[in-house]
Chains A and B, each alone.
Chain A
Amino acid sequence: MNTIVSMLPIVLMLLIIVVGIIIISKVNWRNVAKVGYWMLGAYVIVLLLSVGVFYFVPVTEEEPIQTPESEYDYHLDEVLLGERPVESINEYLVEEWDFEYELDHIQIGYQGDINNTVNIAVERTDGNTIKAAFYQTPVYGFNMELTKFIRPMDIQLSDDRFVVKLPVTKQLKFTSFDKEFPLMQFKDSPNEDWLDVPESLYWGGQLLYLQVPREIEINAEMDVYIEYVNE
């Protein structure tokens, strides 16, 4: 599909050249004075048709969405650094896992797309259950909530290895339009930022919160970053 899209301008250009040559060869050049106006007339008809078609396109005007206050961005970091109780970020909880674990040591490692590593906070607990919880604060961008596009992460326990399966990166292509500057001429702040990328991104944050019994010795593999919350 991508190649077809990238070919389109070339195909269109070729089409126009071919049509142009046909017109030029067919046209009675003695009536050449009229050709300019035929071209203009045909062009105007195409433009008017596109105006008609446009208003049937099922895209309606969107209100710019309200981007949230930015302070929540720090909440996950504060939990990671032990400055905030984990209960306070419950609204960002995405998924929880429980594992029964008998051995006295565990190795934590990643699997999957290493670009999508997460911060891991470890809380030492009593008992013999390892609990994992994944928190994700919302991602906003391009006038859209993007969190829903992020593929879920998963956790697997095989023997003594605690594997964090990082999600595959999802590619998103956004298409937008910019209004040309004459359209904005009579707006309150015209023509000031008409060439900027208009949307700002709210990156969001991720946190994997582990509750691991005290007796279990934790080994982190390379790349794995772990903070111990209550030590």
Chain B
Amino acid sequence: MNVIECEGLTKQQWRLKALDELSFTIKENTITGLIGRNGAGKTTLLKILAGLWQETNGTVRVFSERPFNNLLISANAIYVDDQMQFSNRLTLSDILHEAGRFYGNWDAELARRLFNYFSFHPKQVHMHLSKGKKSTFNMIIGLASRCALTMFDEPTTGMDASVRSDFYRALLKDYLAYPRTIIISSHHLEEIEDLLEDVLLLDQGRKYFHLPIDELKEYAVGLTGRTEMVMQCSANQEVIHTRQIRDDLTYSVVKNDNLPLNKARQLGIEVSKVSASELCVFLTKKTKGGIDDVFK
């Protein structure tokens, strides 16, 4: 069953198209990574899916309903980001209590345990939390609400490394115990790639690809070798990225589509794997060359 169906989804913000003719579907009980550079439209997409924002064009269906201003969606889809606002007149434990009244699947026990584990004080006020603490608290809400569609937008903002890894572990454990549809947006794909089943890569509001993570790992290979050899080998292939390492040494990332890898090895080219996160960075690079070219 598809939890999310988007067809030609467009969101116009002033002159800019934040989302442009986006079409994809997400199946029930999967963890999808929403990857893209800053401004690729990740947040916009998630806010539309959560029913907070309205689409300009195209159709979007969550649980087969249009999400905007929809109570069913609001009750079953939670959107967690670092901008979440809670009344500063309520203490953290009040907020958890209130969340429990609103979300039907709320797991108070889990919330309490996470709350204690991350050593929150029950009488603290959300507004006074540090950035990382805020993100951690919001994450607790996101996990304990057990919404059928749970969306985390840059959930680890401000968290330190150990809390980050705790969070991913908690997310995975809870997901395994209570499967649901989860979308995590991040630009740190390397951190979450072990969690993910699918990756939806956005670039300038458009879908770049939507692939299972395993396919993504095989999507491309890196070729390092003498420039002519690499050129020869990647001729007629889709070159994603090329970098001159030394005068006569080139590193190219080439789409792994019937590549003659054995022949390449015979030509003295070193074939390496390209990690999913590196690949995504290469894929969405707007211009040829890198930051170094700016300073040339």
Report A-B touching, CB under 8 Å. yes
Residues of A at the B interface (CB closer than 8 Å) are 30, 32-33
Q: Which residues of A contact B123 (CB under 8 A)?
A: 30
B91 sits at the interface (CB 8 A)? yes
Q: Is B154 an interface residue (CB 8 A)?
A: no
Supply 7 A–B pairs (Cβ within 8 Å), ascending by A. A30-B91, A30-B123, A32-B89, A33-B89, A33-B90, A33-B91, A33-B94
Tell me what chain B mostly uses at the interface: helix, strand, loop, or mixed: loop
The residue in chain A whose Cβ has the minimal distance to the Cβ of B124 is A30
Q: What 1/0 flags go to B98-142 for Cβ under 8 Å of A?
A: 000000000000000000000000010000000000000000000
Q: How far is the CA of A30 from the CA of B123 in the complex (A)?
A: 6
Q: Which residue of B has the minimal Cβ distance to A32?
A: B89
B90: A residues at CB distance < 8 A: 33
B-chain residues with CB within 8 Å of residue A33 when the two chains form the complex: 89-91, 94
Q: How far is the CA of A33 from the CA of B86 in the complex (A)?
A: 14
Name B's A-contacting residues (CB within 8 A). 89-91, 94, 123
Q: Who on chain A is nearest to B89 by CB? A: A33
What chain B residues lie within 8 Å of A30 (beta carbons)? 91, 123
Q: How far is the CA of A30 from the CA of B94 in the complex (A)?
A: 10
A32 contact set on B, CB distance < 8 A: 89
Residues of A near B91 (CB, < 8 A) are 30, 33
Interchain CA distance A30-B90 in the complex, whole Å? 9
Residue of B nearest to A28 (CB): B123
Cα distance A30–B122 in the bound complex, in angstroms: 9
**What's the Cα separation between A175 and B26 when bound, in Å?**
78
CA distance A33 to B87 in the complex (A): 11
A30 nearest CB neighbor, chain B only = B123
Give the complex CA separation of A184 and B94 in angstroms: 44
A192–B35 Cα distance when bound, in Å, is 70
Nearest CB in chain B to that of A36: its residue: B89
Complexed CA–CA distance, A32 and B87 (Å): 13
Shortest Cβ gap from A27 to chain B (Å): 13
Q: Which residues of A contact B89 (CB under 8 A)?
A: 32-33
Q: Name the residue of chain A whose CB is nearest to the CB of B122.
A: A30
Distance in angstroms between the alpha carbons of A133 and B123 in the assembled complex: 86
Report Cα–Cα, A33/B91, bound state, in Å.
9
Instruction: State A32–B90 Cα separation when bound (angstroms).
Output: 8
Question: Nearest Cβ in chain B — how far from A170, in angstroms?
Answer: 58
- Could you tell me the distance in whole angstroms from the C-beta of A163 to the nearest C-beta in chain B? 78
Taking the closest CB of chain B, its distance from the CB of A110, in whole angstroms, is 73
B134 vs chain A, min Cβ distance (A) = 19
**Whole-angstrom CA separation of A55 from B91 in the bound complex:** 44
Residues of A near B94 (CB, < 8 A) are 33
CA–CA, A33 to B92, complex, Å? 12
CA distance A30 to B93 in the complex (A): 10
Shortest C-beta distance, A22 to chain B (Å), equals 21
**With the chains together, A32 CA to B91 CA distance in Å?**
9
* Complex Cα spacing A33 to B94, Å: 10
Distance between Cα atoms of A54 and B90 in the complex (Å): 39
Q: In the complex, what distance in Å separates the CA atom of A30 from the CA atom of B89?
A: 10
Instruction: Please give the distance in Å from B6's CB to the nearest CB on chain A.
Output: 41
What is the CA–CA distance of A53 and B89 in the complex, to the nearest angstrom?
37
Chain A residue, CB-CB nearest to B123: A30
The complex places the Cα of A119 from the Cα of B47 at a distance, in Å, of: 91
| In the complex, residue of chain A having the shortest beta-carbon distance to the beta carbon of B121 | A30
Q: How far is the CA of A32 from the CA of B89 in the complex (A)?
A: 8
Query: Chain A residue with minimal CB distance to B91?
Result: A30
In order of increasing CB-CB distance, the 5 nearest A-B pairs are A30-B123, A30-B91, A33-B89, A33-B90, A33-B94
Task: Give the Cβ gap from B138 to chain A, nearest Cβ, in Å.
Answer: 21
Q: How far is the CB of A166 from chain B (nearest CB, A)?
A: 68
- For the complex, give the distance between the alpha carbons of A221 and B107 in Å: 102
Smallest distance from the beta carbon of B45 to chain A beta carbons, Å?
36
Q: Which residue of A lies closest to B93 (CB)?
A: A30
CB distance from B42 to the nearest CB of A (A): 36
Q: How far is the CB of B88 from chain A (nearest CB, A)?
A: 10
Bound form: Cα–Cα A32–B88 in Å: 11
Nearest A residue to B90 by beta-carbon distance? Answer: A33
Shortest B86–chain A CB gap in Å is 13
Min C-beta distance of B156 to chain A, whole Å: 29
Tell me, rounded to whole Å, the shortest Cβ–Cβ distance linking A28 to chain B. 9
Report the minimal beta-carbon distance from A37 to chain B, rounded to whole angstroms. 12
Residue of A nearest to B87 (CB): A33
